[in-house]
Amino acid sequence: MLKNPLYVYGPEDRYVPAKLNAGDFLLQKIWEHKEKVSMINGATDEKLTYGEIAQEAMNLALSLVKLGVRRGDVVAICSENRREYWSTVVGVICAGGVVTTINTIYTKDELKHVMDISKPKYVFCSPFSYKAQGKNFSTIQYIKKIIVFGEEKQKNTLSYNDLTIIGRGANSMLKENVNIDQFDAIEVMGQDDVAMILYSSGTTGLPKGVMITHLNILTACSSTMETPDFVSLTITPWYHTMGLISHLIGFVKGKKTIYLPKFDVEQYLQTVEKYKVSQLTVVPPVLIALCKTPSKHDVSSVMVVVSGAAPLHKETADGVFKRFPNAQAVLQGYGMTECTLAVAINVNPDKDSSVGQINSNTVVKIVHPETGKVLGPNQEGEICVKSAMIMKGYIGKRKQDDFDEEGFFKTGDIGYYDEDKYLYIVDRLKELIKYKAYQVAPAELEAVLLKHAGVRDSGVVGVPHPSAGEVPLAFVVVQPDSKVTEAELQQFVAERLSNPKHLRGGVRFVEAIPKSLTGKILRKDLRKMVKSTKSKL
């Protein structure tokens, strides 16, 4: 009945519609902006209006039902960022289907792993993805149909255009465009029915299937907070939660987005200048590349930089203001696929080491990892979150493994909040290095190493030690022409951090730190590198 004084509560400004149907809601909101330009391909200048997205989504939904898609059927999308993506997402949900998004560069084994989690009956893909994965798709027996984007015909596949565009002859499934006044999305039980199956990042293990409900999406898209009408530029893959959900939120508000299918520094900065981009939505590796590459392009239009998906070091954030002199803020937050994007976001430059205040309609508590005791301000523990945006659960896992008795999701992240209710992230619980009786956060050591002028990038893991349990080992990428040594870096860290955090495991110099496409360090790959190096010694 009374709020717990040790919990941190976000504001309450989200109100979802009585009809808990994400397809219906998104379609209506997109249609409200039908005359506006929604997306522009920065590489080709191709424009796409909200009206075109809505019309293709309705046409596609009707065609999918004719094909045999039924409520709860899983439909996969495997494509780079391109115009057909969003009408496919909305159309599948309107047809009662469940969208699952597939990383375009998966290996055969990685593809099989995620496909076996969600078991899609239908797959949409770009010509690029079909060329890369078509043979792999053909070996998966539960896939009924493959639909390919674009004009190019592919053997034993259906054409997206035949499902969405009228007047294409015998192959067309439509005689006329669907009228929105006569269209009704397939009925669902929005509080329980799954709208999307997304995949956890897999930085510490194999990706897990995350079930996102209609209610999760509606809540994420229903903030009443006013936001500036910025022109945004994005290269974040739309199959990733950050790209997927942030764009749906933008659609609801009628935002205009410039997108690029891939990242090239010169093309990116040229696009900023050409379209007078005011907001950049990026991941940290992109920011680092932008800040370290000389350019004569006019980037004075950039007002805000939004960084997500991985931690942003202070040195990188400081570099943003040098690269983009008119930028007023570098925003970063804290979120995850399981929370349908954001738990917290920071808009306060005076709290630059924090991930921000708790998102609206969200409750956070910090608990002792071993005892479960709820902790107060400035006490480190596991971050637990409760919200209508929290996933239904993982496919194939018991809910009680990941949620406590109060319904809080156990994030596996270590953090704390201060007296002003700002949240701070220390590290992943599973990634903490257990040195004797101490717990050492790899992220803290990485941040210190990046302060060294000779270090371009770093990644830290624990390695077994007979008496200490584990000791920190650093993988380091050096700057060009740097002569820095292992001993020098060990001394550099020792002068700045307490004894348990010293690099007793040593320093190994490598060409690159393995990272996900969104910039998260793949520590499981670093551990493999430790083992492979040992086997060669």
End-to-end CA distance of the chain: 62
CA quadruple 326, 329, 335, 341: dihedral sign: negative
This prediction's pTM: 0.84
What is the pLDDT, as a whole number, of residue 86?
A: 97
Confidence at 535, pLDDT banded by 50, 70, 90 = very low
The larger pLDDT score, comparing residue 161 to residue 207, is at 161
Pairing of strands 329-336, 304-307: parallel
Instruction: Judge contact between 348 and 337, C-beta under 8 A.
Output: no
Answer yes or no: do 364 and 456 share one domain: no
Domain of residue 528: give its range. Answer: 436-536
Q: Name the residue among 25, 60, 33, 61 with its Cα closest to residue 49.
A: 33
Q: Of 429, 461, 493, which closes a domain? A: 429
CATH number where 196 lies: 3.40.50.12780
- Minimum mean pLDDT range among 259-263, 337-341, 426-430, 520-524: 426-430
Answer yes or no: do 258 and 392 share one domain: yes
Answer yes or no: do 199 and 310 share one domain: no
The structural domain count of the chain equals 3
Per DSSP, the residues of 120-171 read: -SEEEE-HHHHHHHHHHHHT-TT--EEEE-SS---TT-EEHHHHH-S--GGG
What is the pLDDT, as a whole number, of residue 161?
A: 94
Reply yes or no on whether the pLDDT at 312 is more than 80: no
| Cα gap 360→471, rounded to integer Å | 40
What is the pLDDT, as a whole number, of residue 6?
A: 94
How confident is the prediction for the chain on average, in pLDDT? 90
Q: Of 400, 429, 458, which closes a domain? A: 429
C-alpha angle 312-317-320 in degrees, rounded to nearest 5: 130
Answer yes or no: do 133 and 251 share one domain: no
Reply yes or no on whether the pLDDT at 536 is more than 50: no
| Contacts for 205 with CB less than 8 Å, ≥ 6 apart | 524
Segment 130-136 shows an average pLDDT of 92
Answer yes or no: do 208 and 231 share one domain: no
Q: What percent of the chain has pLDDT over 70?
A: 96
Instruction: For the chain, give the number of residues.
Output: 537
Answer yes or no: do 194 and 311 share one domain: no
Instruction: Judge contact between 477 and 455, C-beta under 8 A.
Output: yes
Q: Of 429, 463, 495, which closes a domain? A: 429
| Cα gap 472→75, rounded to integer Å | 43
Reply yes or no on whether the pLDDT at 226 is more than 80: no
